[in-house]
Chains A and B, each alone.
Chain A
Amino acid sequence: MRTEPLFQPVMSEVRSTRTVSLTFNEQPLNVPAGTSVAAALLMSGIGRFRATPVSESPRAPYCMMGVCFECLVEIDGVPNRQSCLIEVSDGMRIRSQEGARDLMFAPVDVETFEVQP
Chain B
Amino acid sequence: MSQDANGVTQADVIVIGGGLVGTAVAYGLARNGADTLVLDQGDDAFRASRGNFGLVWVQGKGHDLPDYSRWTRSSAARWAGFAQMLLGDGGVDVQLRQQGGFHMCFSDDEMLERQTRLQTLQDALGDYPFQMLDAADLKARLPLIGPAVVGASYTPQDGHVNPLKLLRALHASTQARGGRLIGGVQVDRIDCAVGEFCVTAGQRRFIAPRIVLAAGLGNPGLARQVGLHAPVAPNRGQVLVSERVRPFLDYPTINVRQTDEGTVQLGDSMEEVGFDDRTTTEVLAKIARRGVSTFPLLSQVRLVRAWGALRVMSPDGFPIYQQSPRHPGAFVVTCHSGVTLAAAHALRIAPWIMGGEQPEELGVFTGERFLTDKVFSHAH
Contacts and interface: CB of A to CB of B under 8 A. Distances in A.
Contact of A102 (B139, B246, B299, B304): B246
B245 interface: yes
B83 interface: no
Contacts of B245: 100-103
A24 interface: no
A112 B300 CA distance: 10
Interface string A69-111: 1000000000010000000000000000001111110101100
Contacts of B261: 53-54
B243 A113 contact: no
Contact of A53 (B139, B262, B298, B299): B262
B302 A100 contact: no
B232 to A, nearest CB: 34
B147 A115 contact: yes
B296 interface: yes
Given A53-B261, A53-B262, A80-B243, A103 B300 contact: yes
A103 B298 CA distance: 8
B246 A80 contact: no
A104 B248 contact: yes
B125 to A, nearest CB: 35
A116 interface: yes
Interface residues of chain A: helix, strand, loop or mixed (majority):
loop
- Most B CB contacts (10 A, CB to CB) among A99, A112, A116 go to A112
A108 B262 CA distance: 20
Interface in B95-144: 139, 144
A102 B297 CA distance: 10
A69 B301 CA distance: 15
Give the size category of A's interface with B: 10 to 19
B139 A103 contact: no
Nearest to B260: A54
A51 to B, nearest CB: 12
A36 B262 CA distance: 27
Contact of A112 (B243, B299, B304): B299
B244 interface: yes
B304 A100 contact: no
A112 B302 contact: no
Interface in B324-344: none
A103 B302 contact: no
Interface in B241-255: 243-246, 248
Given A53-B261, A80-B302, A112-B296, A100 B147 contact: no
B145 to A, nearest CB: 9
Contact of A113 (B144, B262, B301, B302): B144
A108 B300 CA distance: 9
A18 B248 CA distance: 44
Contacts of B297: 103-104, 106, 112-113
A54 B263 CA distance: 11
A102 to B, nearest CB: 5
B244 A103 contact: no
Contacts of A109: 299-300
A60 B243 CA distance: 17
Given A54-B261, A115-B147, A103 B296 contact: no
A100 B139 CA distance: 25
A75 to B, nearest CB: 13
Contacts of B144: 104, 113
A44 B323 CA distance: 66
Contacts of A102: 245-246
A103 B304 contact: no
A103 B248 contact: yes
Interface in B43-78: none
Interface string A57-72: 0000000000001000
Contact of A69 (B147, B248, B304): B304
23 contacts: A53-B244, A53-B261, A53-B262, A54-B261, A54-B262, A69-B304, A99-B246, A100-B243, A100-B244, A100-B262, A101-B244, A102-B246, A103-B245, A103-B248, A103-B297, A103-B300, A104-B246, A104-B248, A108-B300, A109-B299, A109-B300, A112-B299, A113-B297
Given A53-B262, A101-B243, 11 more contacts: A80-B243, A100-B246, A101-B245, A102-B245, A102-B246, A108-B300, A109-B299, A112-B296, A112-B299, A113-B144, A116-B147
Interface of B: 139, 144, 147, 243-246, 248, 261-262, 296-302, 304
What 9 pairs between A and B have smallest CB-CB spacing?
A100-B244, A100-B262, A102-B246, A53-B244, A116-B147, A112-B296, A103-B245, A80-B243, A53-B262
